[in-house]
Homo-oligomer: A and B are copies of this chain.
Amino acid sequence: MEPIQVYKCFCDVQRLRILNLLKDGPLCVCHLVEILGADQVKICKQLRYMKELGMLEDARVAQWKVYRLANATDPLLEENLKCLQDCYSEVITFKEDTQKRSAIALRMQKENAACAQAINS
């Protein structure tokens, strides 16, 4: 992966937040939409962007589409997510996102939601 392309990818807070979330495991689009509180179409486009870049992979589970980080993790990606967490937590809502993610996982366990398998597969 060309470093310049990676940096272009990093130029959007939403993309950074998505990458940070996926770092802890796969998620389906509806979860990302809920956590980021953003337009579905927009999220979709970001996901496609990062998939074409080779950063993400996707898989279908029934109606849902599950995205995960691509296998070969880019050193730039890891370093930067760490650095952002350490130094820019007021600027990017990584912590809040991760908390929301836990809340969703919990809720789905209780409700035994159909979509739950997406997270745990």
Task: List residues of chain A with CB under 8 Å of any chain B CB.
Answer: 2-4, 7-8, 10-13, 16, 75-76, 79-80, 83-84, 86-88, 91-92
Contacts and interface: CB of A to CB of B under 8 A. Distances in A.
B8 A4 contact: no
A86 B75 contact: yes
A2 B91 contact: yes
20 contacts: A3-B10, A3-B16, A3-B84, A3-B88, A3-B91, A3-B92, A4-B11, A4-B12, A7-B10, A8-B11, A10-B10, A75-B86, A75-B87, A76-B80, A76-B83, A76-B84, A76-B87, A79-B79, A79-B80, A80-B80
A67 to B, nearest CB: 21
Q: At the interface, is chain A mostly helix, strand, loop or mixed?
A: helix
A10 B8 CA distance: 8
A80 B92 CA distance: 19
Contacts of A10: 3-4, 7, 10
Contacts of A12: 4
A11 B2 contact: no
A45 to B, nearest CB: 18
